[in-house]
Structure 1
């Protein structure tokens, strides 16, 4: 009896150990690899999006680049982490580059992924050859509040509670209202809505909160590689404020799209490829 009891405890502790271990080491992203080029191109999607947001970009570049297409944990149906952390996500991308011996890749990021590209190039400048930032700013919140200051220990629980308490129908309706303000191309509209709907609700809220609390205006000083910054047309009307955010990025090549909204790779595709082609040559 005593022997059986101790065996039970051993099994329970082992199960607990593996459960905790699995949670603490769950990957920050999944990776799909396409293309056979010698140069590596790592593509980071934006908030709540699948790596499939880069599908046309990959088709365009896969013959000259080896494309590493990321989807971040908890987004678009990808398994979520227990405690997602934006800075840890960036550190894990850097670790992936080192572990897989990817030689000075180009990093391309959209929206929050563009912010992650800036952080990655600033914190690991030795790893990166170039970055392409598609409609992201070093500190988005200052466009709404010029006096914004990032908080060291921000409490995201209110946003998380609000988001997780919604039912599926409510959350879907919010996505249906928000995404048309970001995407003019109706052909991709429902797909982007569904990526949000399939995202883990806690991750969705937590990352929105964390990214909204991010200020890279000083940290981008350490970026040494060439940086192409592609911005939606609306930012052209507030150029002084936008370009002030990038004053510490001495390698920045800033270009404003000719039409469309936030998803530039969809809304102004011809212009987008013209800019990226010229930059990557």
Structure 2
């Protein structure tokens, strides 16, 4: 009986979210992203990762935005959204700060996945007065320093440039095969793999390459000390199992986030990069505890 009551409550909440009016915010003032707004209440901004559309957060919206207002972004150039000429990551950061101010949001929660989490950290470091809380879903502040923590800025830039150039020079067939192999390491279910691959193949490749370059060439570790917002970091361990013991994964996360005061780090043993697909209940439970 108790389980049936819980199930009925969850279904009712999901139906309520589906019934709430949603609108896409006018893009004139922020061409770097589209926004889908759902619900009412305290604001939550959800930022997807590289090549992903806002729909990657559909389950999260259903779970948390009955009593909150969700602003779900889809970034320019990703998953069929028209690209822009300006470098994407700086444009998103600048325009998102303006969007928060224009809509008079009172310290919104930022939830980001992968590159979206990198952007959430940048926002919290560069605009600490605007951000309330941050949820990081599977990213590191210095992705290029995973294996070489003391890598120099020059080495990071050279590595990122090499990856960008390789990405752009690959022919279409090889690119599609590469995306399928990569997606297979990031999410477990085959249907989810195909979904992620489909988003990549609909994305503007130059935008993807430039965004990857911008993220990999940057090192946010020194900037973390400027973040005032309480921050929850969620990581997926399953992608590392073949080449890194769990203890080393945890040590890597703690080392990269050591400059962020009060950070809470939790790792999901059963999830790969797309935690919202591989172990949604685990992710929702930890976000719920953090936000309440």
**Which bin holds the TM-score, normalised by the shorter protein?**
0.7 to 0.9
Query: How many positions carry a matched residue from both structures?
Result: 257
The corresponding residue for 2:36 is 32
Asked if the contact 2:156/2:218 (under 8 Å) is kept, the reply is no
Distance 1:152 1:33 in 2: 41
The corresponding residue for 1:229 is 233
Distance 2:192 2:114 in 1: 17
Secondary structure (helix, strand or coil) at the match of 1:58 reads helix
TM-score by length of 1: 0.85
Gaps of 5+ in 2: 1-28
**C-alpha RMSD of matched pairs (Å):** 2.2
Distance 1:152 1:237 in 2: 27
Residue 180 (str. 1) matches residue 184 (str. 2): yes
CA deviation after TM superposition for structure 1 residue 26, in Å: 7.0
The corresponding residue for 2:14 is none
CA deviation after TM superposition for structure 1 residue 57, in Å: 0.5
The corresponding residue for 1:8 is none
Gaps of 5+ in 1: 1-24
Residue 262 (str. 1) matches residue 273 (str. 2): yes
Closer/same/farther in 2, CA of residues 43 and 247 from structure 1, 3 Å limit: same
Closer/same/farther in 2, CA of residues 237 and 201 from structure 1, 3 Å limit: same
Asked if the contact 1:225/1:251 (under 8 Å) is kept, the reply is no
The corresponding residue for 2:64 is 61
Residue 196 (str. 1) matches residue 200 (str. 2): yes
Distance 2:62 2:118 in 1: 24
Segments of 4+ moved more than 6 angstroms: none
Secondary structure (helix, strand or coil) at the match of 1:31 reads strand
Distance 2:257 2:167 in 1: 32
Distance 1:196 1:56 in 2: 20
The corresponding residue for 2:23 is none
CA deviation after TM superposition for structure 1 residue 173, in Å: 1.2
Distance 1:93 1:257 in 2: 30
Distance 1:153 1:272 in 2: 31
Asked if the contact 1:258/1:271 (under 8 Å) is kept, the reply is no
Secondary structure (helix, strand or coil) at the match of 1:127 reads coil
Deviations 1:249-275 (A, max 9, x none): 112111111312111111111111110
